[in-house]
Structure 1
Amino acid sequence: MDSIEIKQRNIILNKKDILEKLDYEEEDIIFLGGSLIEGSINKLSNGMGNKLSDIDVFILSNDIKKIQKSKLDYDKEYLKTQFKRLCSISLDIEIYSKQVILDLIEQLNNCDFNTNIRTFNLLNLPVGFDLNSFTSFIHRFLNGIPVYNEEVFYQISNFLKRDNYFKLMVRLAVNNVDVFYEDAIGNIQNHQYEVALVVARNILLETMKAYIFNKKTSLDRDKWIPLKLKNLGLYDEEVETQYKTFAKLYYEEKLDERNNIRLNVEKIINFSNEIIQKIGQDGGI
């Protein structure tokens, strides 16, 4: 396939034109990602991307230190960034060290989830490279389209143990719920219901994020949680039911009185407990 159709923007991009915009070496790997791409290739991401969305270009560089700083907009040791345009579309170009990414994928594949090590510390990340950057990259990789060295791209894709990625993301989300839980309870006890509501909404989002990952579905932005749930619900009646409860708690309940705010917070906490208990029963934690 030499061209890529971007339905959300009603254009067709030629791979050759994309590559001509990039600086890369023979052994590099290049793929496209982001909401426009994901919304085009993943039925569970239907609705993602719009006429104002950019295309994310990812380059796994065989020798990232060779890249000239003058060609970069942002320069970190293991992640370089450029911004270019093609056919009126902005290209956000992220250049990673291929070796660093491969090392982290191998660590992820070998993760021991039965250890006492905190989830946030399971991977030995290089200095200046945070966990969110890596997991976001993995999400884009899983929902990407290769445009250069495609065979190697698919070799890495086959090497990646997806179940370990999903389990890691479930645990990270549940850990966040635990942190927010005490904050919400403390503010309820202190009658700070408005503050508790803000925290409870974070609990709800992190809970549904854990639920989505437990369903072997990926995302990297909280804003896509409702869309992913709604799309998953088209193929899974249980998810459809949970989405309706989520939507009611997040959008639909009247919060015109302080007592209603407190009740909403308590409902969110109870719903979160039910979902996380179910994830645990499924072996997802």
Structure 2
Amino acid sequence: MQQIDFYMVDAFTETTFGGNAAAVCPLTEWLPDETLLAMARQHNQSETAFFIHTDDGFELRWFTTQGEINLCGHATLATAHVIFESLSYPEATIHFATRFVGPLTVTRNGDWLTLDFPATSSEPVEPPQLLLDCLGISDYQEVRLGRTYTVVLENQQQVEAVRPDIQLMLKLNQKVCITAPAEIEGYDFVSRFFSPAAAITEDPVTGSTHTMLIPYWAQRLGKTQMLARQVSSRGGDIRCQLVGDRVLMSGQAVTYLVGKVLLRRPAAQPNV
């Protein structure tokens, strides 16, 4: 039987039951992909992060219940929180090697952790009618396509009022973000994010989508430092900064659960 440490962390929040929950598992070596996927399905969180400690830092991978994904912000933040708080990592910056997006870093400054991710671009597009039908809207300011469809609405109230048709969105086969200027004092923009194809009806706080939202809002607002709020039912805050072709996303995190995963291998079948 193999024992693996297990953490559940709420990311982009300072309180339990806020932000976005992720499972985090430190490994001593990479397990077979089918085992990692089975573990992610058993955990049944939007993402499970797996990492190993190497001579050069850490290797990091992310799995949903559907399979491995190429980038996840909140699970990276949760992983860094575990390394700093539970594994007593002494340095101020953690260096992650990833399979799809190259090196990532997370830097600690007090209770805030800052992700350094590559910025992603988006372009204006004519929205398919199916997208508007999924969201149940007809009025919008702009629709863009990059990592996801991004539908820009006029105000925060419209973002909060959207009640998407998730079953219809499955036919779209694309992730969907909606965003608008913030009406909360001190905040610059708000968003929500839906990814039913990845078994995520509504993601509470989504770092990867902000790699696209930050460049958009930086250009539109004429500023490179912003405060964003994802207005899901759990909600979460992201301090945002655009630095060239990189985005810095800062958030807090809290540990909810610490335990052990007990992996029991199937017994060998006797020779007949």
The TM-score normalised by the length of structure 2 is 0.35
Q: Normalising to structure 1: TM-score of the pair?
A: 0.34
Please state which structure has a larger fraction of its residues in helix: 1
* Structure with greater proportional strand content: 2
Name the larger-Rg structure.
1
Greater relative contact order, per chain length (Cα 8 Å cut-off, separation 6+): 2
